Amino acid sequence: MLSLRKPLCLRCRRCRCGWWQLGWRMKVVVLALVAVVLYAVTALSSVQESSDNSEQYIHPVTTKPRAFKKPHEPHSLKRSHKTTWSEGRYITDGQTRMRQRQDILIRYCSTHSDEEFRGTGGIPTFRTDGLVSKRHQLFYCPVGKIASTFLTRFLVAAEETNPVISPYAISAAKALRMRVKRSGNHILFAPLNKLVQSGWQEKSYLVNLKRVVFVRCPFQRLWSAYVDKLLSPNPYYWESWGYQAGNMSQTSLLGLAGIGHDSLKKESPTATQQPCGHDVTFSQFLRLVVASLHRQDTHVRPVTWECSPCYVDYDVIGHVETLTSDVTYLASLLGLNNWTLSKVRWDEEHAEDAIKEGVRNVFFKWSSQITECMTLEEAGKRLWRVFQIRGIISESEQFSEYLTKTLDAFSMEDALFGARSRSVRNRADLDLQRHAAFEEAYETVDAELKNNIRKLYKADFEMFGFDFLTNL
């Protein structure tokens, strides 16, 4: 009778099917090729599925409006890919943070009158154009000096890529251009006031969107505005802010917010010198904010005036203090495949982006205007000090005499990157250094001016859970 069993090797008594006759090296190669093929097939199917899901959205105008939900009930997390353990942790932590922040906001709005937060009778108003992403059914209310440029870069990345790439891969200039760029009939970002005609229409339109706002401690926000717009070489704000602030005081000293560094101090301009507005102190800037700037400029205008938080049911209330975690949660809320965000070196990419932008502004973009007020060496020293205040480079890293002799954009950038690489060996010291600069700056501000700041931003402090009684 004919046997159907395969013949066995007489030596090892195993099947002579060819696999057992291969050497161990060939077996490894074959298994590796099989693994690569399986991975490629899985990745291709995942990308195809996510692209199909991303193209299916419903325009809010064509759907039946739903009633406002309770703020502590976030949107369901519809995902286009399998949720990993780390993503699930971010979602759970993010939901907890959002519920806590929404509860604080609800308590404030329910116990205060419209006059206390400049309400408009239930109609939301936006001083700066809010941005609508039709693809992700999202509304974002941008506020100056609350990571608005970074968040716009993130939203552009979310529009164009999935898995979403690092926001720092999108240039700031491109992000600002893409707010109004058209791609066929698809508007990547549309200002809210271009889509609706009145406040009541805005309210019904927003019901169907995911609503996002980011906030920041007012004390930190004002300090950041001063460092970024006045202490850092920035002729535009020297003229628009600095000149006004200098005119409000009889004297104008470059005290650099009272944090020392005698090598950077400069005498007050005489009557024959043309004032540039580059030498105002932090206290002078705060007086300008209290007097008029808080009504004029989005960089210092209260969030309660900018985004109507008591009239808009925000799904995401992000804090700059927890920016990385909140952005990751937002990506999950939008249903993005955000595994690439977990690989972003946030601190390093932020430092690299800041250094390149700062050097480019001083030595290329604004060099001719800057040299009308100070030398490039003075501008370079001031930029160096700004990066120390921001905790990007250590205070132990000094502006060298060699750099003074060979100062240009390339040598300045190389020196800053070198200082950064040596400074990150102790990140805790950089955090302490940044906080110390903040505290020392407010030590130069008199108590009456601090109280005026607390009164001006009282609603922002209370409705977003910041401590306005903190000792500064």
pLDDT, tens digit, 9 for 90 and up, residues 161-177:
877 888 999 988 888 77
As a whole number of angstroms, the distance between CA 317 and CA 109 comes to: 15
Select the more confidently predicted residue: 18 or 125: 125
> What is the average pLDDT value for the chain, to the nearest integer?
79
Q: What pLDDT sits at residue 448? A: 96
pLDDT band at 179; cut points 50, 70, 90: low
pLDDT at 1 over 80: no
Domain coordinates of the chain in residue numbers? 85-216+301-343, 219-297+348-462
pLDDT at residue 471, as a whole number: 61
pLDDT band at 120 (very low <50, low <70, confident <90, very high): low
Query: Across residues 230-235, what is the average pLDDT?
Result: 96
- Over pLDDT 70: what percentage of the chain? 72
**Range of weakest confidence among 198-202, 243-247, 344-348:** 198-202
pLDDT, tens digit, for every residue of 392-433? 999 999 998 889 888 999 999 999 999 999 999 888 999 999
**pLDDT tier, 114 (very low <50, low <70, confident <90, very high otherwise):** confident
pLDDT of 7 higher than 70: no
Percent of the chain with pLDDT over 90: 49
Residue bearing the bigger pLDDT, 300 or 51: 300
Higher local confidence (pLDDT), 427 or 269? 427
What angle do helix axes 409-423 and 376-389 make, rounded to 10 degrees? 20
pLDDT at res. 4: 46
